[in-house]
Structure 1
């Protein structure tokens, strides 16, 4: 599959999790729509765009397990979460219960809105190593109080690459009458997803990560009873529209003035590529490589796994703890000297090196990483073992 991607062949690319990677056939379809837009922008924007977006939404909705009228495209999950927060009408002393494993941009966004409203962002500690799903649930709900109004949870953590029991959390939150917001950035195309079965109130995910779409393609799902309360982050022609579409929800959030929607409308081609190339099977093969190598890297780095090495907690990427006083220096050295693209990330006082495996990777790529880390341990003081 490596020849199908546009990635630099001189780089060992082990960082699919950050921004994804787009195959050539999908990128060509994306550019085809861009050319169509530029050749006749008025016809595209005023006539064709609505139909293209509807077709793309229908294709995506079927893939992620919801109705096409209940989601719309966004550039990224941060945009989606900002839209939700913008509409929540938080009050002083309201509490948002989350974990200490959330994505940094999400933490910052919640802090911004909490400062404005006086609400409290409760980062409940989920201790490592993870022993079981029950441990996560028990620790998480210790953060609940009578002031809790919202549950915000990532389905897969970015820094630790851990899968969280989101279904169980959503179910209990519904019983308690809480609003549930799920950040599923790493899920579509990676982990089995059926949004209606998961039953969150809000769900955001990316297409440009594990679904292989071009950069800047994500979506926001909103349960029907919350749709009319969601204010557009950008007020434009869809507000009090002269030509109303199938719903106010879609008018407000899809009709955003002049913009290039090519990345969104090539979604049917994205899904077709995945299905044609039996991506679910390839994903399972990649997950097995991740599991097979995790303990090996822990042994090399003198650390312990942060969870049981099973598919219950890990997908196509894994974060291995390591001891370093210079994570950025280590990341730069791995790239500059060894031509390996891989993140080295701090979280809660710990440091992790996170490898991602997709169909363009092989065991050989992880062997390259292993040899590089061996050499760094022997020849520098960047890693303590």
Structure 2
């Protein structure tokens, strides 16, 4: 399937998880929308785009299991969390409970907010290796206190590539009267998702990762009970609109002046691509490759898996612990000398080589990585 993508064929691309990769046909659809925009900007922006956007939203809503009027497109999940964060009315001493596995940009977002408000960002320590869901739940809720008002949790962690028991946490948080915010950046198109069944207060995910759309296409879902609470991050024509729609939530967050929404409009083409190319089989094959090879990479590097090697914790990604004194140099060497695109990520004092696969990857890519790591171990001091 590599020929379906725009990726450089000389590079072993083992990093779908960072920014995704867009197939040629979906990118062509993206440029079609951009060309229509430039052919008649006024008609596109003021009239036609409204219908186009609704069609794309309905396609994503059906796929993700939510109402089309209950989410808005955003450029990325960090933007989405900033929308939520700036509308929370937390008082000094109130607490946001998260884990120490959250995405770095999200940690920074909450640190910014707590410095401004006096609230506290609590990162529960979830130790590695993971042995069970029960362990995650027990360690997570140790961070809870009478001051906890918000639960913030990644559905799948970035550095450690681990699936978290989000449903169980959301259910308990609701019983405790807490606001729930889920960062699902790695979930849509990767792990089965039904937002209505999960029932968080807020959920953000990307389309430009595992749903294969062009970059800058994500979404923010908001349960109806919280839609009127959210102030617009960008105040524009939708605020105190001269022609208000049925939803203040949509008015505030969709009408933001001149912008190119072409990436948002590719969802129907992206979902058609999945159907036309039996992408569910490609996903299943990628997940199998992760399960089949994770232990081999740990053995090669003299480390241990950070979780049970099962679908309960792993999808199309896995993070292999590596002992290195210079993660950045190791990453650059893998790319510059071996033409392997793969992240070397740190979380606390630990470092991981994160492998993420999609339908364009084959066993040859993994063999290429094994050979490169073997040679690096033998010829440099970058891997201990």
- Structure 2 length as normaliser, TM-score? 0.99
1:213 is the counterpart of 2:209:
no
Gaps of 5+ in 1: none
Q: Matches of residues 224-263 of structure 1 in structure 2 within 5 Å?
A: 224-263=224-263
**For residue 362 of structure 2, what is the aligned residue in structure 1?**
362
- Residue 97 of structure 2 aligns to a residue in which SS? strand
The DSSP-based 3-state class of the residue aligned with 2:314 is coil
Specify the alignment match of 1:185 in structure 2: 185
Please give the alpha-carbon distance, in whole angstroms, between the structure 2 residues aligned to 1:32 and 1:18.
26
Residue of structure 2 in register with 1:79 after alignment: 79
CA distance, structure 1, for counterparts of residue 245 and residue 286 of structure 2 = 42
* CA shift in 2, pair 1:54/1:246, >3 Å: farther
Q: Which residue of 2 aligns with 1:305?
A: 305
- Structure 2 counterpart SS, 1:145: coil
CA distance in 1, matches of 2:253, 2:57: 13
Distance 2:186 2:354 in 1: 14
Q: Which residue of 2 aligns with 1:123?
A: 123
> In structure 2, what is the Cα distance between the partners aligned to 1:11 and 1:285?
20
Question: Residue 94 in 1 paired to residue 121 in 2?
Answer: no
| 2:26 alignment counterpart | 26
Residues of 2 paired with 1:308 and 1:382: CA distance? 27
CA distance in 1 between counterparts of 2:135 and 2:281 reads: 31
| CA–CA distance in structure 2, aligned partners of residues 318 and 65 of structure 1 | 26
Please give the alpha-carbon distance, in whole angstroms, between the structure 2 residues aligned to 1:21 and 1:266. Answer: 14
Gaps of 5+ in 2: none
The number of aligned residues is: 384
Matches of 1:118 and 1:30, distance apart in 2: 43
Which residue in the other structure is 2:43 paired with? 43
Distance 1:94 1:292 in 2: 44
* Deviation of the 1:284 alpha carbon: 1.0
Distance, in Å, in 2 between the alignment partners of 1:377 and 1:224 is 54
Alignment map for 1:273-352 (pairs within 5 Å): 273-352=273-352
Deviation at residue 52 of structure 1 after TM alignment: 1.0
Name the CA distance, whole Å, in 1 between partners of 2:270 and 2:242: 33
Moved over 3 A (4+): none
Q: Secondary structure at the match of 1:93?
A: coil
Partner of 1:266: 266
- What aligned pairs does 1:169-184 form with structure 2 within 5 A after superposition? 169-184=169-184
Alignment partner, residue 154 of structure 1: 154
How far does residue 62 in structure 1 lie from its aligned partner after superposition?
Answer: 0.5
- What corresponds to 2:55 in structure 1? 55
* 2:4 aligned partner: 4
Distance 2:380 2:344 in 1: 17
In structure 2, distance between residues paired with 1:237 and 1:144? 40
Task: Give the superposition deviation at 1:246.
Answer: 3.0
Distance 2:82 2:159 in 1: 21
SS of the residue corresponding to residue 46 of structure 2 reads helix
Instruction: Give the distance between the partners of 1:359 and 1:265, measured in 2 at CA.
Output: 23
Distance 2:281 2:374 in 1: 32
- Give the TM-score normalised by structure 1: 0.99
Cα distance in 2 between the residues matched to 1:34 and 1:246 = 28
Q: CA deviation at 1:168?
A: 0.2
1:287 deviates by 0.1
Q: How far is 1:310 from its partner?
A: 0.4
Q: Distance in 1 between matches of 2:151 and 2:262?
A: 33
Per-residue CA deviation, residues 285-336 of structure 1 (Å, 9 max, x unaligned), is 1100001000000000000000000000000010000100000000000000
Bigger shift: 243-252 or 306-315? 243-252
**Partner Cα distance (2:239, 2:188) in 1:** 30
**How far off is 1:278 after superposition?**
1.9
Task: Tell me the distance in 1 between the aligned counterparts of 2:245 and 2:73.
Answer: 16
Q: What is the Cα-based RMSD across aligned positions, in Å?
A: 0.6
CA distance in 2, matches of 1:17, 1:246: 37
CA distance in 2, matches of 1:87, 1:281: 41
Residue 245 of structure 1: CA displacement? 2.0
